[in-house]
Structures are given as C-alpha cells and as structure tokens.
Amino acid sequence: MIIGRDQLQWVYATTAIALASTAAYLAYAVLSANGPRGGSAMGLVFGFAGTGVIVFECLLSLRKKYPASPIGRVSLWLRAHVWLGMLSFLLILFHSGFHWGRGLASLLMWIFATITVSGIVGVALQNYIPTRMMELVRRETIFAQIPHNIIELRKEADERTEFVTADLGLEVADAEFQRAGGVKQYFDPSQKAGAAEKIAVFVEQRKNTRQIDVGQEAAAILRSHYLQEIRPFLFAKPQPLSGKLFQTEQTLQAYFNFLRTILPVASHSVLNDLESICEERRQLGVQVRLHHLLHGWLYLHVPLSMAFLVLTLVHAVVSLRY
C-alpha cells in the first residue's frame, strides 16, 4: 500500500484516538490504587478494544478472497489494516500496563511486537520497491508470465545464434502439443501443417547453412561461448558462472564487448541481439528478486497473525475464567 496525502484523514483519526486513549490511560494509571492491571475494568476495556481491532486485522485475508464483496473496497480495508494495526499495539500496551508478563502473556507480546514490526517493514517495502523496480527493470512484465518469457527469450537466442553457427544440435521439445491451464492439449498435426510449411524451409535453411558467414573458426568460438555461458543464463535458474558473468548491466556489456573484439564485424548484429536478450533476462531476474522481497515478509506476518489471534483467544478465556 502506497502512503500518500490521500491517507491524511486516517493519520488524523488514528492520532486522535491514540491521544484520547493515552489520556484515558494516564488518568486510569494515576487514579488506580494498585496501578494499571490487565484484569481491572479499564484494563479489560483496553484489552477488548485491542482484541477487536486484531480480529478485524485478521479478516483482511478473508476480504481479499472476495474482491467483489460490497463490504467496503479492499483498498479501504488495507488502509484500516495499516493504521488501526499500529493503534492496536498501543491499546494492548495500555491493557497490560506496559508489563510484558510471563508465560503466555509474554509470548503474546513478543509475537505482537514481531507482527507490528514486520507490518511496518512491509509498508516501507511497498512504498520503496515499486519505485526502485521502475528504475532497475525497464522491461517489466507480468510476474506470472516470466517463466514463459524466459523460454521465448531462449528460443529467440537459439535462432539468432544459428544464423552464424548453423544447427546447434539442441534437443527440440515436442511440438505436437501446447499447454493450457497446466494440462497437455493435443492437436491434429494436419491442423498446423499450413503454418508449419511456411516456416519449414526457412528453419531448415538456417540449421543446415550459416546465414552469416564469418568463417569456421569464428563460428566455433561463438558456438562455444553461447552453449557454455550465454544459453545457460537463459533459464529459470541460471548456472552460477553465467549468473556471475551477467550479474549487472556493466558486466554483461563488458562480456559482449569482449566478444565483439574477437569475432568478425559480420557477427556483431547477432551479438547485439544476444546482448539485448541477455539484458532482458537479467532484468527479469531483478524483477523476480524484488517481487520476492516485496512479498516475502508476508510469510512471517500472516502466519504469526493467525497464531497470535488463536493464542489471544486462549489468553482471554484463561484470564476471564481464572
């Protein structure tokens, strides 16, 4: 969620509630003979208020599963989740009288503190990473399409390289099926014969004869570099050596500048295309890492929140009963 001026009303509202709660707590702490305690009437008020907000916070996951629900927009729930979440931590501190207690009470406070910190980190990442991604990933794509895009980049690189090297001798995947929804869908080859015939001659020519003649030695050099260093980078999980060679834009440019110095000028158009393909693959890798960083905190925040809710209910039952 992006923090902007459109949320000033939430800032003012939560600040006002926090100040009113603080004033009430100070009066309660001063006037209470035994000091602030969670089991006192005022302590229970703070406890129920904080628990009510916590229950609301945990309902966000359920609300996201039904985006068309008329119970407020998801964006409104997100804003309430962020600002009321920070307020709930203050209310629980008032409930406990700023004592972390022992046993289950202490565990709850540590979990709640971790949840609050992880939430703040998550909001900070959501405000920083999208801007950073725009700077680092000029060819950003839909995240779910990245594996498919990498495959297409590898196919394109194979074809461009074969203009210089001819057939690379790579194993070709079964062309008689396509995937739809994760299930193999088989088709009658005759239905695709027309399209296949149009490109069959071109592909055969490209594989059998070098379209750009740079000499046998230069073609062998490009073939070696492509199969050992460039092509291994064009997979979902690049090999370590390729990942290091193309780790940054500068190292990638240096690598292809080196190839341009040892290969004839006639091959430079292919090298330029390969450099562009590798750069796009590198940016997709950056996008994947930033995406995982942007959403990784949820793997801590959400399970802890659910565990905290269950333990809070246990704590409430035990405290009220005993």
CB contact set of 51 (below 8 Å; sequence gap of 6+): 312, 316
User: How many Å is the Cα radius of gyration of the chain?
Assistant: 30
pLDDT on residue 76: 87
pLDDT of residue 178: 42
| 27 within a domain of the structure (yes/no) | yes
Domain carrying residue 317: 5-131+297-321
**Counted domains in the chain:** 1
Can you give the pLDDT at residue 41? 87
pLDDT digits (tens, 9 = 90+) for 296-320: 999 999 899 999 989 988 888 887 7
Using a 10 angstrom Cβ sphere, with 0-12 exposed, 13-18 middle and 19 or more buried, the burial of residue 45 is: middle
* Beta-bridge partners for 184: 179
Start-to-end CA span in the chain (Å) = 42
Residue type, 223: R
Chain-centroid distance, C-alpha 198: 41
Coil, helix or strand at residue 235: coil
Per-residue pLDDT, 200? 62
On the 0-12 / 13-18 / 19+ scale of CB atoms within 10 A, 319 is middle
The per-residue pLDDT for range 177-222, each reduced to its tens digit, is 344 444 444 445 555 555 556 566 656 666 667 778 889 999 999 9
147-159 core/surface letters (b: 16 or more CB in 10 A; e: else): eeebeebbebbbe
Average pLDDT of each block of 10 consecutive residues along the chain (322 residues)? 76 93 92 82 90 89 80 86 91 89 88 93 90 84 92 94 87 46 48 58 65 89 95 93 92 96 95 96 94 91 91 83 64
Closest CA to 315 of 36, 48, 45, 35: 48
- In the structure encoding, which two tokens stand for residue 321, read together? 């009963």
For position 100, what pLDDT does the model report? 83
Q: How many angstroms separate the CA atoms of 220 and 68, rounded?
A: 59
Task: Quote the pLDDT of residue 69.
Answer: 78
Tokens 């802890």 locate to 304
The pLDDT of residue 156: 93
Answer yes or no: is 71 within a domain.
yes
Specify if 10 maps to a domain: yes
- The answer to whether residue 95 is domain-embedded is yes
Q: Is residue 182 part of a domain?
A: no
In a domain, 203, yes or no: no
Chain position carrying tokens 């959400």: 302
- pTM here is 0.74
